[in-house]
Amino acid sequence: MASNNNSSDRQRIAQQRLSRIAAHLHKHEDGNSGIIAKECKIDATGSTEENKGTVPRKRQEIMKWNGWGYSDSKFLFNKKGQAEFTGKRYRLSGMTLPSLQDWFENTFGASVKHKSPATPVLNASVVPPPRLNEAFVENLKATGIPFSNEAEDRVFRAHGHCLHEIFALREGKKFERVPDMVVWPNCHNDVVKIVELACKHNVCLIPYGGGTSVTSALECPPEETRCIVSLDTSQMNRILWLDENNLVAHVEAGIIGQDLERLLNESGYCTGHEPDSMEFSSLGGWVATRASGMKKNVYGNIEDLVIHIKAVTPRGVIEKSCQGPRTSTGPDIHHFILGSEGTLGVVTEVTMKIRPIPEYQKYGSVVFPKFEAGVACLREVAKQRCAPASIRLMDNKQFHFGHALKPQVSSIFTHFVEGLKKFYITKLKGFDPHQLVVATLLFEGDRERVLQHEKQVYDIAATFGGLAAGEDNGQRGYLLTFVIAYLRDLGMDYCVVAESFETSVPWDRVLDLCQNVKERIIRECKERGVQFQPLTSCRVTQTYDSGACIYFYFAFNYRGLADPVHTYEQVEHAAREEILANGGSLSHHHGVGKLRKEWMKDSISNVGVGMLKSVKEYVDPENIFGNRNLL
C-alpha cells in the first residue's frame, strides 16, 4: 500500500512539475532557466488592460466606502430576524445563520429592532476642497501618471479601518483633513518620478497600499498645510519574475495578498504569508508594518520572507546589491524599512521567498476543558517545536461566537451528529460548556508527514486533557477571522461597536495578561457608563519559542452613551496600558501608526527613539513622507 502511495505521489508530483513548466513555456517562450520576467510598463495609458489585479483605481466600484470589504458582501438580519450573508464570494455567502441573532442579542443586550443605520452615500459637502499644489500638478500631468482629486477617491484614502474612522464615515461626519489628490503609479520608475516631484514642490506624500490599517496610520495629520498626495500602489501589482532555482519571486509591492497567492498558485507556488487581512492588504503594507501571517510557523513572518527590498525615499532609492540569504554587513538596512510605516519612503519592489504549494492540507481542532489547559498545551507544542502551520487557541467566548456562525443545517443526520458530539463532550467527558475552549489547527505538507504531525500534536493535547474535535470546528475557527470585519459592520448597524487589538507576551504571562486585560476592559466600561457588560474575548494566535501573540476582540452595546467612540477609545487606551503593565508588547503585527505613538518612548527607550529620528532626519529631512506615524 505504502509503496503504491509513494509511487503514485511521485507520479503526481512529476506531472505537476511538467504542467507547470509547460505553462511557463507557453506563457513566455523566451523564459530562460525558470525565470519569468516582465518589463516595467512605463506607459501609463495601457495599464488598465494589462492590469489583472483585483483592485481597480476606483476602489469604491467594488468595495464599500464606509465599511469592510466588497460592496456585495455583507451580513444582515432579514425580515424573519435571521442573519444572512449576501454575495457569492465566500463559503458563508448566501447562507442563513440561524443562531447569530440569539447570540448577538444575548451577548450585547442588543435588539435587532434597534437599528443604527449608516449614511448611504458620501455627502461631498463634508469633504474639504483639495489644496492643490499647481506646479506639482502640472509636472505630474507631464509624466502621464494617472491621478484624481475627486472627493470619493480622496475620502477613500483618508482612513484605515479603525473603529473611529469607520464610525465617522457611517455617521457622515465632516472631515478635518483628507488627501488633496490621489496618484496611481504603475511601476517603480513612476514612484521615483512622483517622489522627485514631491521633493521639488514640497508636497506631502502618504503611501497607500491595501488601506487595512488599524492604527490610524492613514489618517492625514490635521496640522499638515501642504498639499497631501495619497500614493496608491494598487496598480503596481505584477509578479515581475519568478526564480525556481532559488525559490524566490520578485514582486511589485502594491500587489494584494489574494492576487499574489492566486498568481503564484498558477505556477504551483505560494508565499505562505497569510495575514488575516490578506484579501485586501498589500505586500508593501506588510513590509511597512512588519506583518505576520497565520502560517508563520512554516513560512515565517514577513521579515523572514523578504530577501530584497527596493524602496524610494527622498534621498533616492535604497536597496541591497545582492540577494544573499543572510549577510553580515552592519545593521540590516531592511530593518529600517520593515516597520517604517510609510515615514521614510515607498516600498516598490520586493523579492520574497516562495514555496511549492503544499501537497496536503488538513484542518483540525482540539477541545480543552479550560483556557489554562489550552495555553499549557500550546506552550508544550512550542517547546517541542512541532507547531503546525497554524495553531490558535480561542477562549470560551470566541468558541461560542464561532458556533453562532454555523449555517443552517440541511440534513437531519448532520444535526444528529452535532448533537451527539455535544453530548459526548459536555456530558460524557464532563466539559463545562461555559469553560471549554477550542484550539484550531492547520497542517500542511506531504500527506504522510501531515498525518504523523497531526498525531504528535493530538498526543500532546491529550496530555492536557484535550479531545480532538474534528476538521469542521477547525475550519470554522479560521472562517471567523475572515468575516469578523464584516460582522463588525453588522454590529454597527445595531448600536454595537467593536474592535480588535493584539500583543505578544512571554509564555509565563499569557494567562495573567489575558485575564487582567479582560477585567480591565469590563471595569473601565462599567466606570464609563456602558450599560451592558462588554464582550471581551481573546485567542492565542501565534506561538513562538519564548512567547505568544494574543489577539483580543472587544465590543459593546453603546446605547445610552453620548459619545460611544470616545468611550471606546478611552477603554482601548486603558486596555493597552494594562497590556504594557503585564509584560505585553506595544504591538505584535498591527504596528504603531498614530494610535500608539505615545507609548513608543517607553517601549524602545529614548535612545531608540533618537536612533529612529536620526534615520528619518537623514532620509527625509523635509518630511515629505509626512503621515507622522511611529515617532
Partner 1 sequence: HPHQATQMSNYCLNILVFVTLQQRDPMLKRDCFEDILEERRNSSDLKYALRCYAPVLYKGVTPCKANMLKNIVLQSDQLHYVINQVSQESGEAPDIIQEEASVILEEMAHRLQISTVRCFAFALSKAFKTLFQHVCVNEEGIQRLQQAIQEHPVVLLPSHRSYMDFLLMSYILYTYDLALPVIAAGMDFMGMKFVGEMLRMSGAFFIRRSFGGDKLYWAVFSEYVKTMLRNGFAPIEFFLEGTRSRTCKSLTPKLGLLNIVIEPFFKGEVFDVNLVPVSISYERILEESLYARELLGVPKPKESTSGLLKARRILSEDYGSIHVYFGQPVSVRSLAQGKVNRSTYNLFPRHIPRKPMEETQSFVNDTAYRIVRLQEDNMVLKPWVLMASLLLQNLEGLELSVLTEQTVWLRGLALSYAAFLDWPAPTAKVVSSSLALHRGLACVSGDRVSLVVGEPLGPVTPEEALFNRAVSVLSCASYRNQVLHVFLRPAMLAVAMLHLSDEVYNCFSFLWDMFSNDFILCPGDTVQDFEEACYLLVKTGAVQMPQQDIVMTDIGQPTLSFFNGLLEPFLQGYQVVCRYLCEEASEGLTEKQYIPAVRSFAVKLILAGNLRCYEVLSSDMQKNALAALLRMDAVRKVKNRMISHINQTPISPSLSLVAVAEDLYRDGLTPSYIR
State the amino acid at position 33 in one-letter form: S
In sequence order, the 6+-apart residues with CB closer than 8 A to the CB of 543 are 297, 378, 379, 381, 382, 387, 391
Instruction: State the Cα–Cα distance between residues 286 and 391, nearest whole angstrom.
Output: 21
The footprint of partner 1 on residues 144-203 (CB under 8 A) is: none
Check whether 346 is labelled as a binding-site residue: yes
Check whether 347 is labelled as a binding-site residue: yes
Q: Check residue 410 and report its DSSP letter.
A: -
Instruction: State the Cα–Cα distance between residues 398 and 396, nearest whole angstrom.
Output: 5
Chain centroid to CA 541: 13
Given the complex with partner 1, which of 99 and 585 has the nearer CB atom? 585
Chain centroid to CA 78: 29
What minimum distance in Å lies between the beta carbon of 578 and partner 1? Answer: 9
Site string for partner 1, 500-529 (x = CB under 8 A): --------xx--xx-xx--xx---------
What minimum distance in Å lies between the beta carbon of 539 and partner 1? Answer: 19
Instruction: State the Cα–Cα distance between residues 628 and 623, nearest whole angstrom.
Output: 9
Check whether 34 is labelled as a binding-site residue: no
Q: Does position 435 bind partner 1 by CB under 8 A?
A: no
Q: Which of 135, 386, 580, 600 binds partner 1 (CB under 8 A)?
A: 580
CA-angle at 151, arms to 153 and 485, nearest 5°: 50
Check whether 128 is labelled as a binding-site residue: no
* Ramachandran angles phi, psi of 378, nearest 5°: -60, -40
DSSP-assigned beta bridge partners for residue 271: none
DSSP track, 260-272: HHHHHHHTTEE--
Check whether 213 is labelled as a binding-site residue: yes
Q: Which of 235, 582, 623, 629 binds partner 1 (CB under 8 A)?
A: 582
- Nearest alpha carbon to residue 382 among 556, 549, 161, 631: 549
Q: Does position 609 bind partner 1 by CB under 8 A?
A: no
Q: Does position 598 bind partner 1 by CB under 8 A?
A: no
What minimum distance in Å lies between the beta carbon of 584 and partner 1? Answer: 9
Given the complex with partner 1, which of 13 and 581 has the nearer CB atom? 581
Q: Does position 546 bind partner 1 by CB under 8 A?
A: no
Active site residues: 551
Check whether 289 is labelled as a binding-site residue: yes
What minimum distance in Å lies between the beta carbon of 585 and partner 1? Answer: 10
- Nearest alpha carbon to residue 220 among 142, 279, 139, 165: 165
Given the complex with partner 1, which of 214 and 513 has the nearer CB atom? 513
Check whether 208 is labelled as a binding-site residue: yes
Q: Does position 270 bind partner 1 by CB under 8 A?
A: no
Q: Which of 56, 81, 172, 583 binds partner 1 (CB under 8 A)?
A: 583
DSSP-assigned beta bridge partners for residue 498: 555
- Nearest alpha carbon to residue 309 among 297, 321, 300: 321
CB distance 338 to 350 below 8 Å: no
Annotated binding-site residues for substrate read: 488
Kindly list the residues in this chain that would bind partner 1 in the complex (CB under 8 A): 508-509, 512-513, 515-516, 519-520, 580-583, 602
Binding residue numbers = 207-213, 289-292, 341-347, 488
| Binding site members for FAD | 207-213, 289-292, 341-347
